[in-house]
Amino acid sequence: MNVLYALYADPENAQRAIDALHAASSELHFDQRQIVIVSGEPHESYAFANSDTSTRPYGWAVFGGAVGAICGYLLTTLTQKAYPIYTGGMSITPAWTNGIIIYELTMLGAILTTLITLLRGAGLPNFKGVIKDPEIWLGKILVGVANPPESSQLELETCLLQAGASEIKQFSRASH
């Protein structure tokens, strides 16, 4: 994978570059999904950082909690019913104390689901094709295009430079 990119010290310039790339995508024959943005911190104040405001993780957490509750109910009830004790038909599943176990497992379900949702949503773990430039940890924002068409490379460079970048860089997985 090759990435042609520039680094921007200012998020406003990064936003400009992204806008310009979006505007030029059809003309320069690349898909908008090929635009790469990487930063060392979230920039919530800018539109480029708000491309995916999904609320699904909240729903999944609730679902995970429900699954945890059902597991808790089954664990306590089925175990207690399997006790080798003759109770003369009396209930052996106390709701109050079982409720504590069910509560804890509900929370555990929500926690584990949140973790899984994050890993899945963020595409982690991913040890292949990680685009990185050490300067992003110094406050720069990387904006570029993955696998840019060779015919429009020059135009892309111009596009990135006009937004305020000082230099154009290239990342290829083979070199990292």
Partner 1 sequence: MQRTAEQIEQAELRPTSGMNRAAEEIEKDLLRPIFTSSTKYKVAVALSGSLVLAGVAAFAYQLYTGIGVWGLNSPVFWAFDITNFVFWIGISHAGTLISAILRLCHAQWRRPVTRCAEAITVFALIIGGIVPLCHIGRPWLGYWMIPYPSERLIWPNFRSPLMWDCFAIFTYLTGSTTFLYLPTIPDFAAVRDASSGLRKRIYSLLALGWQGTPRQWQRLETAMHIMAIVIVPVAVSVHTIVSWDFSMTLVPMWHTTIFGPYFVVGAIFSGIAALILAMALLRRFLHLEAYLKPIHFDNLGKLLLTFSLLWFYFVFCEFLTTWYGNAPPEMTVLRENISQHFAPLFWIMVFCNFLLPVPLLSRKKLRTITGTAIASCTVVVGMWLERFLIIVPALDRKFLSYSWGSYRPTWVEDTLMASGFGLMALLYLLFSKAVPMISIWEMKVGLQPHGGGIITKVSAIPQPHAIMVLEGPLPTDEPE
| Residue of 66, 71, 112, 161 interacting with partner 1 (CB under 8 A) | 112
Q: Is 122 in the site for partner 1 (CB under 8 A)?
A: yes
Binding-residue pattern over the window 57 to 86 for partner 1, x denoting contact by CB under 8 A: xx--x-------------xx--xx-xxx--
Distance between CA atoms of residues 95 and 105, nearest Å? 15
Number of residues that this document lists for the chain: 176
Among 26, 29, 95, 100, binds partner 1 (CB under 8 A): 100
- Looking at 5, 6, 28, 140, which residue binds partner 1 (CB under 8 A)? 140
Is 144 strand, coil or helix? strand
C-alpha distances in Å from residue 54, one per residue of 41, 59, 64: 19, 10, 17
Structure tokens given for 107: 């929370």
126 binds partner 1 (CB under 8 A): yes
Strand partners, 59: none
- Minimal distance, residue 170 CB to partner 1, in Å: 14
